[in-house]
Structure 1
Amino acid sequence: MSRLFTGRVLGSVAFILILSGCSVSGTYPDAAEPDAAKLRFISDMSSATLSVLDEQHCEGQTTGILNNLFLANTRRRVDMSIPSLSEKTPYLEIRLPPNKELLLHLNTQGAGSVCGMAFTFIPQSSAEYELTFDRAGSQCMTMLKRLHSVQGQVVRSPVPLVNKGIASCMGANALFPEPPKGLPATPERDALTEQIVSQSIIAEMKPDATALNESARTEAIDLVVNRRKDQMNLDLPDAYWTQYRQNVANYLVQAQGVKAKALDQYKVEYLARLSRLDTSSIKALVPDTEATDVTQALATNGAMLQYYHRLSEQLQKEVMADNWARMAELDKRYGVCKRYPQCWQN
């Protein structure tokens, strides 16, 4: 199972790094813990960079630069036990503090374009990872994989990526802009904005009216668990499969609630954006009135629908990542990864 994430950014962090005296090796100091995780960053894109951010470093610490026209590729290495698939594609390696939440920010600057993305990451103790960063058409893509060896066989297991940001960094810099404040509320403004938001909600945004009944839920869980048993073909205790069933059940409940959660957050965001407009601009967005600016109303609703789709996708990824973490902890507890290459790896 693999997850690809795409993204684009407007600012050029890479250009700043090129001008920096530390751009070849970067400013990030390798973690000193004996059980530090190791990460290999691989990219063949122009001026590709990887920065490590946390609550103490909202501006980020750079790890070096790859494929720059004026600078040699960094030869930063940390003696990873599993080699790269190819020495032809440039890469660098770093040590990361284990069990600490980080934000990894990737960026590249090519001819007339900038591409980048970020994701939250908690490196596991003594684990090894590969992070690839490349382009497909006009979009950049990245994939993170956990490296491990099972009975002499090297396995690269994909890890789901979710960007949760860093709450304490909000307002610190351009990467974490502070949301603009709204104008004072009035009964008239509140009524107008509520009308705009309520009439923007379309059928696909509404939560499913019917949920799985208990019989259908049990059947779905049985199907997933039995399929997994057949795939693994391992002698595992009943306690393992009891917890596995519970994890699947929790996932189904969380997944069922995504649409309702997305709609609630959509309403909050839409109201917040409208609160920043003056009253006459709000009136222009109210449907079917003499003051309605149809073009502007359609454009605003269209932008918010795109926001809803991005939000829904993000929430689905978070649910999947939570389940992935639970399954990885379970497989680790019962030593599954020593016997089964396709085990859950966090």
Structure 2
Amino acid sequence: MSRFFTGRVLGAAACALTLSGCSVSGSYPDATEPDAAKLRFISDMSSATLSVLDEQHCGGQTTGILNNLFLANTRRRVDMSMPPASEKTPYLEIRLSPKKEQLLHLNTQGTGSVCGTAFSFKPQSGAEYELTFNSAGSQCVTRLKRLHRVQGQVARSPVPLVNNGIPSCMGANALFPVPAKGLPGTPERDGLIEQIVSQSIITEMKPGVTSLSESVQVETVDLLVDKRKLQMNLDLPDAYWAQYRQNVAAYLVQAQGIKANALEQYKVEYRTRLSRLETPSIKALVPDTQATDVTQALATNGAMLQYYRQLNDQLQKEVMAENWARMAELDKRYGVCERYAQCWQN
């Protein structure tokens, strides 16, 4: 099941942008294309909102508000053909332009806290989806599922969530800030920065010393394919399974490179952040010197470790989403979803 959580506090600016102009129905106009996709947004959290952002609307357009003390829950609907699993949890429905990538921004304001997330979404023509945004302990959890029918029954297939941002919106508002430029490099500054970055790398960040051998990879692919065959129990041609096998092998290769990719991006980001500091501030972060500010150094490394973990998670989602798209195209080509509820859905 896809899970995407970016952090509890997005900041006052993000909240202001999300909630500005909020009304029962919001400011987002439903897409008018005949093959528009339909999305049901479900939430049990206080003052939950869903905003749709794109290149023309970097500030976002709201779709209404759920579970608010002062506004009645919206009855916004778009006549989706498949009903919600339950009518007890408040929800709203909207129409989205198909095959157009948009950024969906979810937000909630509870007592003394803000919870939110955002992800890129490119809905398929005529497809129907459900988006849930609920609390789980101290976190908010988002899940997107595509609705379809299998032998007359409604099936809900998970869809992976990835945030690609909106590059053209950079600098448009507080949600898309322009990063500050670094100060000019010098041999001294560059050397100090490399000390900080290199000594911040812990075992968790280091890629495995060995990759899967060819025999182990073949064995793993065989295991996954055989398991899928047993689960599906469908009569599918050899060509389907040959392509399925290729997709699994490609995913394994990509997955093995995630940690190395994450580490390289981590180093680049850490150097970039340090380059914005004055030289005395950089010296205070170099470990084990007379100028070291231990508290500040630990805090900075802690923040960068959190960045690494979020980056690694994001890269995993991107690789998974690529594989998901390949598998979904394969299942669509062979009509699997009409016969199997747990098919791959894009």
Do both share a fold (TM > 0.5)? yes
Partner of 2:309: 309
Residue 292, structure 1, aligned to residue 292, structure 2: yes
Partner of 1:72: 72
State the distance in 2 between where 1:18 and 1:193 align: 40
Aligned residues: 344
Partner of 1:209: 209
Q: Per-residue deviation at 1:294?
A: 2.2
Partner of 2:155: 155
**Which stretches in structure 1 are left out of the alignment for 5+ residues?**
none
Partner of 1:5: 4
Over the aligned positions, Cα root-mean-square deviation in angstroms equals 1.5
State the distance in 2 between where 1:239 and 1:19 align: 53
Given that residues 18 and 107 in structure 2 are in contact (C-alpha distance below 8 angstroms), is that contact kept between their aligned partners in structure 1?
no
Does the C-alpha gap of structure 1 residues 200 and 15 become closer, same or farther in structure 2, counting only changes over 3 Å?
A: closer
State the distance in 2 between where 1:300 and 1:17 align: 29
Q: Aligned letter for 2:261?
A: K
Partner of 2:250: 250
State the distance in 2 between where 1:46 and 1:14 align: 13
Q: Aligned letter for 2:2?
A: R
**Which stretches in structure 2 are left out of the alignment for 5+ residues?**
none
CA-to-aligned-CA distance 1:263-321 (integer Å, 9 cap, x gap): 00000010011001100111111122222222222221122112111111111111111
State the distance in 1 between where 2:183 and 2:64 align: 43
Does the C-alpha gap of structure 1 residues 17 and 174 become closer, same or farther in structure 2, counting only changes over 3 Å?
A: closer
For the residue of structure 2 that corresponds to 1:114, the secondary structure is strand
Paired residues for 1:110-189 under 5 Å: 110-189=110-189
State the distance in 2 between where 1:177 and 1:259 align: 27
Q: Aligned letter for 2:90?
A: P
Q: Aligned letter for 1:5?
A: F
Q: Per-residue deviation at 1:344?
A: 0.5
Does the C-alpha gap of structure 1 residues 305 and 14 become closer, same or farther in structure 2, counting only changes over 3 Å?
A: closer
Q: Aligned letter for 1:4?
A: R
State the distance in 1 between where 2:17 and 2:206 align: 44
TM-score using structure 1 length: 0.96
Q: Aligned letter for 1:10?
A: G
State the distance in 2 between where 1:308 and 1:72 align: 41
Given that residues 47 and 67 in structure 1 are in contact (C-alpha distance below 8 angstroms), is that contact kept between their aligned partners in structure 2?
yes
State the distance in 2 between where 1:112 and 1:211 align: 46
Q: Per-residue deviation at 1:163?
A: 1.3
For the residue of structure 1 that corresponds to 2:181, the secondary structure is coil
State the distance in 1 between where 2:314 and 2:188 align: 34
Q: Per-residue deviation at 1:68?
A: 1.6
Runs of 4+ in structure 1 deviating by more than 3 angstroms, as ranges, are: 12-19
Q: Aligned letter for 1:229?
A: K
Q: Per-residue deviation at 1:44?
A: 2.3
State the distance in 1 between where 2:20 and 2:127 align: 33
State the distance in 2 between where 1:205 and 1:232 align: 37
Q: Per-residue deviation at 1:137?
A: 2.2
Q: Per-residue deviation at 1:11?
A: 2.3
State the distance in 2 between where 1:328 and 1:17 align: 33
